[in-house]
Structures are given as C-alpha cells and as structure tokens.
Amino acid sequence: MSAIPILITLLCLGQSPADAAKPDAAASEASLEVMQQRVLDARVKLSADAKSNLELVVAPVFRYSDELRQIEDAGIWLWTDRGRPAAAMKVERYKPSRIPTQWLYCFTSLSPELVHAEWSNAAPFQARQPGVKWQALDDEPAKSRPLRLVQLREMARRFSAEMRINADGTNRIQMRLLTRPLFRCDESSDVIDGAVFGMTGTGTNPDVLLLFDLAPQGGWRFGAAGMTTESVTLKLNDRIVYEIPNTVGKGRVFDTWSYFRPTK
C-alpha cells in the first residue's frame, strides 16, 4: 500500500507522521495511575505482627509489556526496609481474552525475614521462608559511588540464567540481563550500596530479580528471587548458585512468592 494516502489522512487529522508514531502518552499515564492505585492498596510488613508497614517506593522501578504472554502493560514496585529492597510486586494488565479478569498480581519477598502482605481485593500472603538468602562475593568494593555502579554492572554480567518452559526441560531459553539496574539503594548507616537487576526470558518482563548488597561491615553479597512458574537455573561464572522448580499447575501460593487475580 502506498504511503501517500496515509500521509494525506494524517495531515487532514492534524497529525504529522512523527506524532502518529509516538506512543499514546495520555493512555500510558492513565494506565500507570490505575496500576499505582492498585499498589497503594497493598500493606506489606516484615511479619504479620509487625507494627509498621514497609516503605513503598512510590513510582514503579520498571514498566514493561510482554507480547508472548499477552500482557498489554505492567509495572514492578518495591518496598524497602531501612533502604534495602524487602518485597516486590508486579501489577500486570492482560488483553481481555487472556484471563477472566484483566489484572494479575505477582508478589515476592526479597527479605531474609518472613514477609507478610495484605490487599483489600485478594487473600493475604505470608512467606514461609526467607525471600533472599545472601551469598558472599569476593569483589573488593570500589571506593566511590560512581565506580560502584560500574562495578555493579560488571558483577551482574557475570551471572547467566536459563529458563525451562516445559516441565520436562525440553524447551530452554537463555535469559537476558536488563542492563540498567531497576533500583539502587541510597547510602545510609544501614547500607552503603546495593542494586536490583532484572533478568528476562520473554521481552523485558523481569522473571528473576538479581540483588546486590554492600553493608557497612563486610563486602559485596548477592541474592536472587524468582517471579515465574517456569523453572530457572542461575549461574555465576558457570557455577549454579540459585534454582527454582517448575510450578505450573501446582498452585499459586509458594514459600516466598505468590501470583493471583484480584477480585476486582
């Protein structure tokens, strides 16, 4: 088809071809506002009897879509405990025909404690195991914050991950590291530095979160958390350091994470 009729139509509508190619910023902002309200409904604590909620990072640390899974728009939010990531939640809006309700939540603990979360439109979640188990790294911490960001990226690139789509492990996908950290800790008396990176098997959907932490005492350490029902093997320099099993058809509530549809 010739581009001339399309160009004439756009000009008649008062749009330039460049404007037509841009994403609908208003629709994106409206979608974000709806997701934001859903996140604000959550109450997340380090334990069920904790007196105060964890601190929500108000803006999503990452926005994404996932054509393979028919996710039209989604975001991932974090809660922190004294500056460290302690929990993460995905809010995903699916194409209308994909699931009975358009919305799906995925919540995971990122804490060595037993995180508890509640929603007004879903059953509460109680972690049965720590969400992250820290492992030491030998890297000497860089002296400045800008140099540590370079170091964080270098450390993240040493990790590789493989996702196995089928339960028998026949369909394998090499996961890709999202090069920019989703979140970086501010320096404080509790944590000198740290970051969260995403690893994806489909598009830019972060199915595995890779965490780095630098405490005032001690060196770099890392941890990982999965947010997928597919099995994943994470390696550091070809050594397996983290694994999650295939949980397709095995429920929706697990020891450290859960995914579910809200009631509305």
**Quick check: 229 pLDDT over 50?**
yes
Torsion, Cα of 242, 246, 249, 253 (10° steps): 0
Dihedral sign for Cα 125, 126, 129, 130, please. positive
SS (H, E, C) 127-175: CCCCCCCCEECCCCCCCCHHHHHHHHHHHHHCEEEEEECCCCCCCEEEC
Quote the pLDDT of residue 166.
79
Paired residues of 94 in beta bridges? 71
C-alpha–C-alpha distance, residues 85 and 63, integer Å = 18
Q: Do residues 108 and 256 touch, judged by C-beta distance below 8 A?
A: yes
Degrees to nearest 5, angle at CA 96 with 93 and 100: 90
CB-based contact 160:239 (threshold 8 Å): no
**Residues 159, 235 contacting (CB under 8 angstroms):** yes
Residue 111, Cβ density class (10 Å: 0-12 exposed, 13-18 middle, ≥19 buried)? buried
User: Tokens 């994806």 sit at which residue?
Assistant: 200
Task: Give the residue, 181 or 98, on which the prediction is more confident.
Answer: 181
Give pTM, 2 decimals. Answer: 0.88
Output the pLDDT for position 230. Answer: 93
Output 168 or 125, whichever has higher pLDDT.
125
Tokens 């028998």 map to which residue? 168
Q: What average pLDDT does the segment 76-98 reach?
A: 93
Q: Convert the pLDDT of each residue in 33-71 to its tens digit.
A: 999 999 999 999 999 999 999 999 999 999 999 988 889
pLDDT digits (tens, 9 = 90+) for 145-158: 999 999 999 999 99
Percent of the chain with pLDDT strictly greater than 90: 78
Cα R_g (the chain), whole angstroms: 20
pLDDT tens-place string over residues 22-36: 558 899 999 999 999
